[in-house]
Every structure is written in C-alpha cells, then in structure tokens.
C-alpha cells in the first residue's frame, strides 16, 4: 500500500523483497521452460543402415512414414502446419562394379524421374561434397495432393524439396527433404544441420 508524505507518493521498502522474490521465481520458471523446450526440440534419433555405413541423426519427435519404394529411411514431422508433412527420405543404390558413374549423369536421371511429379520445376542444381564424397545438391518444387479420399479432400500444396545425390566408392545415396513451401526455409536449415553430421562412407 502506498503512502503520501508531503504530497509525494511512496511505497514501503518492506514490499520490495516480496516483489523481487516473485520476479526471481518467474524468471527461473521461464528459464527452466526454455531449457526444457531446447532439450525437447534439440533431441535426435540416430538411424544406422544395416547394409552400409550410412548414418544420420534426425529430430526425435519425427515419426516413421513407412518406406517408400527403394528407400532405407522415411520419417516426417507431425507438427508441420499443413496437410503435407515435412518429410526426410534416404535412398541407397549399389554401384555397378564396372565403374564410377558421373555425378551429372545421375543428376540428369534424377531430374527425369522427378519430372513425373505434378507441376515439377527444377530450381537449382550445383556440385556438393557430403562427408568427403562427391555429389550434387538439387532444389525443386512440385504440387502435392496430400489427401485425396472421399470426404477428406484437401487443397493441393506447393512443395519445395532439397536433395543431395552422393556418390561413394560402393554406393549412391539420395537424401531428400520435402516441405510445404511456407515452411521450407526453416526445414532446409535443419536439414543442413543433419547433412553436416551425416556419415555415408
């Protein structure tokens, strides 16, 4: 309670410690909440392929999607704000013992395969190195129809994808992240963190 002394309003000093204590409790709670959130969002799960040295860490909260044809890993972020969920897939192919393929030839073949996607558009293509292995990084966009069932229709979603084509001494890997266009920037930044630590040979 305030007091007025000689026309000046003042607050008793005895209330300051109580107010300070409340402020400290609130700050501690906020700090603890931030730490817990950081731990949850920063937690990862490690995938190790049984038939190759391939190993990658991905967010622990992501869930399995089942394996697309030819894939060794398929996971998605269930918290994506879209009917189309951000997905991470990894495919592996054995190399022909006859010789090492040209990266550009693999890229051309991959572009041809993706051209079957609705509204496919290649955005960029450039050389890349992943864990010391030569390769390329592609970015492309397409239109997905995430739900196409009677009574459960959803609007088409513009999807943007980033894909690494990686050639090692024994295998070819295709590592792909696809996300709704409005979430791609954040998803791609996280993907780059995964690629920085991936093991392919």
Strand 171-180 vs strand 157-167: parallel, antiparallel, or unpaired? antiparallel
Q: Are 167 and 100 in contact (CB under 8 A)?
A: yes
Q: How far apart are CA 92 and CA 201, in angstroms?
A: 12
pLDDT recorded at residue 28: 65
pLDDT tens, N- to C-terminus, the chain (201 residues):
555 555 666 555 555 566 676 667 667 667 665 555 544 457 999 999 998 999 999 999 999 998 888 899 999 999 999 999 999 999 999 998 777 899 999 999 999 999 999 999 999 999 999 999 999 999 999 999 987 777 777 789 999 999 999 999 999 999 999 999 999 999 999 999 999 999 999
Q: Helix H segments across the chain?
A: 16-42, 103-114, 184-197
Handedness of CA 135, 106, 99, 48 (dihedral sign): positive
Quickly tell me which residue has 């990084």 as its tokens: 137
pLDDT recorded at residue 94: 92
Dihedral through CA 167, CA 168, CA 170, CA 176, nearest 10?
-50
Neighbours of 133 (CB within 10 A): 18
DSSP annotation of 25 reads: H
Non-local (6+) Cβ contacts of 64 within 8 A are 74, 75
Q: Are 114 and 140 in contact (CB under 8 A)?
A: yes
Length of the chain: 201
Task: Return the structure tokens found at 81.
Answer: 């704000």
Locate the DSSP E strands across the chain.
3-5, 8-10, 44-48, 55-59, 63-64, 71-76, 87-94, 121-130, 133-144, 157-167, 171-180
pLDDT recorded at residue 13: 52
């Amino acid at each position: 309670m305030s007091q007025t002394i000689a026309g000046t309003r003042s607050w008793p000093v005895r209330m300051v410690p109580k107010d300070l204590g409340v402020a400290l409790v609130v700050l501690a709670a906020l700090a603890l909440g931030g730490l817990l959130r950081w731990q949850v969002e920063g937690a990862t799960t490690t995938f190790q392929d049984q038939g190759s040295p391939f190993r990658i860490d991905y967010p622990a909260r992501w869930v399995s999607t089942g394996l697309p044809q030819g894939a060794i890993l398929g996971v998605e972020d269930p918290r994506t704000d879209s009917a189309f969920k951000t997905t991470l897939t990894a495919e592996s192919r054995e190399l022909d013992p006859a010789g090492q393929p040209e990266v550009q030839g693999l890229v051309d073949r991959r572009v041809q395969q993706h051209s079957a996607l609705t509204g496919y558009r290649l955005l960029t293509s450039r050389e890349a190195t992943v864990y010391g292995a030569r390769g390329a990084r592609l970015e492309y966009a397409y239109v997905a129809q995430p739900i196409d069932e009677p009574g459960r229709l959803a609007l088409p979603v513009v999807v943007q994808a980033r894909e690494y084509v990686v050639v090692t001494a024994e295998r070819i890997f295709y590592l792909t992240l696809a996300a709704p266009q409005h979430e791609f920037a954040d998803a791609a930044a996280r993907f780059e963190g995964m690629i920085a630590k991936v093991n392919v040979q």
